[in-house]
Structure 1
């Protein structure tokens, strides 16, 4: 049984989908518009629901030297550094949810996924290959490249990000919602920070109308910083745009010394506006389906954007099973029905977390953080349990 899938976008979701489909017998081709895979991106937190998928598809062993396993998830006050929550994760995550909680650089994850795909089907990834759109055809669809070439297959997957051309064609023109926030991103060698290095955790630093997150990547060699600031006018979205150091320091003026040390010592600072999108009424047009940020872009305040893309690719392959011909469209419809509530919930809670971390008045902070502190002190297992629906979701094996 020969089935072919064309994947538009060589990011985390597109590569995961390609690997999963290849493992279940499909021939795959990935079209990535960038001329080469680069270091663009930042640190990611991969929760147990994503780690289980990476283990199932043979990618984890390619990441061993690049991952960092944090001791805990923490919340601290951004100015004073005073702890609000310390939730142990090392050892606890694997016992409770069946896999570790890990941190990794996006580029390292992309490299590992690309290598795994190349081992399964050499040459499946084509870089420097922008796609204009798609067209339906009998029992399939075709991808239309910018150079005019048309390639037909049984399935087309739009994994081309928040500004997806495939989504635009499928659902018509609209624009992502500006969230009223922009983000700073930086990487600094941990050794360079010395005693000012942040704790070896996934640490959220909360404060009035802004927050920061520090993590470790490259086996703990690099500290990753993301700082999110409320501001209604600046809307430029580019992961590669550099920002001004003095502006970043002004945004976090008076905050905890580890954060200021990162901003002072980072070789490069990046700044970009944050956008999301309301849940879409559909992800599918016949034999064409969306996944990842093309289907459900979300804010980074649950650290689930990459993981939900992994889930999309994995569970799409499971939904397709042995489907051929018209059954492929039916399988895509089932996949949407099975995924939409979960991805929409993650989008919603991500937006709520952003508000939680940005409390401005002392009264608002006390009302929000005192119960979290008390729960962490008295019933940490119950706090862990609030993530059971997300981290503990079952990951049945692929039908290989």
Structure 2
């Protein structure tokens, strides 16, 4: 199809994945219609870690500068034994990260990232955002893709040559992809893990309790066989975000729920008194079940549908790469479609193949992290010895493949 002909992109879901996709496609000159089911752009979760592989893309898209004003550049990732509070390892970040990987490592409130993306999208007249629109049907054919949406009791249709499903772990678009191949759509799978989260003011009693045992300028991870907890500053350092992970029973699907706090307290048996006191003071904790999506299912269809982010490959967050993978998905999808304007089906095949390999490697790293962080007995001793003999530079080098990743240069076809 000639480049001069308008090629509209329809995106379902205005979270991090969908907003990034809208900005990325807009940067390539595509008209974009971005739909969100919620009446307003609610923020899911609290804190977020953005490693250099993600911030490099945000910089290229003109988003990073907006985010930097509210984000924090942690000086290190610090691993501590939850029972003794002894430091086990320290991976340098800060200026060292930017020098090594060419982009900063940031921690921020998810709302700040979403705001930065929304502001950038609003600057592009080719991007239209419509909230309160629920996807009800998708039809594919020679005309491209037609999405039918319900909004305020009325039916709205949007046509494009590509529908991007960025609607999260409980994706409606994923069901369309599976119907297209004549298969039942698999539901997301509960991983058996619960995430507990809370945010406290740095000057509060809980904030001061954390300052006494953690690294207030870094990402601190407390390791224990029954749980692990990650803590870091957000909102220019005015608050601390805490998230703890335990085994647990399935609770209602959703991002913010409540579970028996005794589960977290029981998982923390044997921890240092200061950490147990912090967990009690930092409450109440909101709980959400960690769901994953089977990654063997297709992420694209030849008719012009692509899944990105959690809709395609929701994984447990133990590599802290959920947002980064969504950002990578969005930017690379836009780049491949722009590079193959006359053969979008081929672009989708190439994109999916490349992304599958990358995402699989990240998922394996997350599984390894969980095993190491929850290790007990001889395995924990081996982990501690490994961390002790590795220098800070060697620990950073272990992450070069992850944080140093850059989108390959694509020759226009």
TM-score (norm 2): 0.90
Do 1:214 and 1:226's aligned partners in 2 also have CA atoms closer than 8 Å? yes
User: Is 2:110 aligned against 1:106?
Assistant: yes
Mapped partners of 1:217, 1:194: distance in 2: 15
User: Is 2:341 aligned against 1:329?
Assistant: no
Do 2:47 and 2:110's aligned partners in 1 also have CA atoms closer than 8 Å? yes
1:211 — aligned with what?
228
Mapped partners of 1:262, 1:131: distance in 2: 43
Do 1:56 and 1:397's aligned partners in 2 also have CA atoms closer than 8 Å? no
Do 1:46 and 1:103's aligned partners in 2 also have CA atoms closer than 8 Å? yes
Deviations 1:99-155 (CA, angstroms, capped at 9, x unpaired): 111101111101110111011137721111111232112152111213543321111
1:369 — aligned with what?
384
Do 1:283 and 1:291's aligned partners in 2 also have CA atoms closer than 8 Å? yes
The verdict on how the C-alpha distance between 1:367 and 1:34 changes in structure 2, with shifts beyond 3 A counting, is same
- In the alignment of these two chains, the number of paired residues is 394
Do 1:167 and 1:295's aligned partners in 2 also have CA atoms closer than 8 Å? yes
Moved more, 21-30 or 198-207: 198-207
2:334 — aligned with what?
317
Do 1:79 and 1:256's aligned partners in 2 also have CA atoms closer than 8 Å? yes
SS of equivalent residue, structure 2 residue 329: helix
1:166 to 173, 178, 182: 173
Matching of residues 81-92 of structure 1 within 5 Å? 81-92=85-96
1:269 to 277, 285, 306: 285
Quote the offset at 1:195 in angstroms.
5.2
Quote the offset at 1:177 in angstroms.
2.5
User: Is 2:365 aligned against 1:349?
Assistant: yes
Unaligned runs of 5+ residues in structure 2 are 179-183
Unaligned runs of 5+ residues in structure 1 are none
Mapped partners of 1:196, 1:141: distance in 2: 51
TM-score (norm 1): 0.92
2:181 — aligned with what?
none
2:199 to 187, 191, 208: 187
User: Is 2:154 aligned against 1:150?
Assistant: no
Matching of residues 61-76 of structure 1 within 5 Å? 61-76=65-80
Name the Cα RMSD after superposition: 2.1
SS of equivalent residue, structure 1 residue 302: coil
2:31 — aligned with what?
27
The verdict on how the C-alpha distance between 1:331 and 1:148 changes in structure 2, with shifts beyond 3 A counting, is same
Do 1:46 and 1:306's aligned partners in 2 also have CA atoms closer than 8 Å? yes
Mapped partners of 1:158, 1:39: distance in 2: 18
The verdict on how the C-alpha distance between 1:132 and 1:208 changes in structure 2, with shifts beyond 3 A counting, is same
2:210 to 175, 196, 210: 196
Do 1:42 and 1:106's aligned partners in 2 also have CA atoms closer than 8 Å? yes
Quote the offset at 1:352 in angstroms.
2.2
Mapped partners of 1:98, 1:17: distance in 2: 22
Moved more, 350-359 or 256-265: 256-265
The verdict on how the C-alpha distance between 1:389 and 1:139 changes in structure 2, with shifts beyond 3 A counting, is farther
SS of equivalent residue, structure 1 residue 295: helix
1:230 to 234, 247, 257: 247
Do 1:69 and 1:90's aligned partners in 2 also have CA atoms closer than 8 Å? yes
Quote the offset at 1:368 in angstroms.
2.0
1:304 to 308, 313, 321: 321
Mapped partners of 1:398, 1:47: distance in 2: 23
1:140 — aligned with what?
144
1:339 — aligned with what?
355
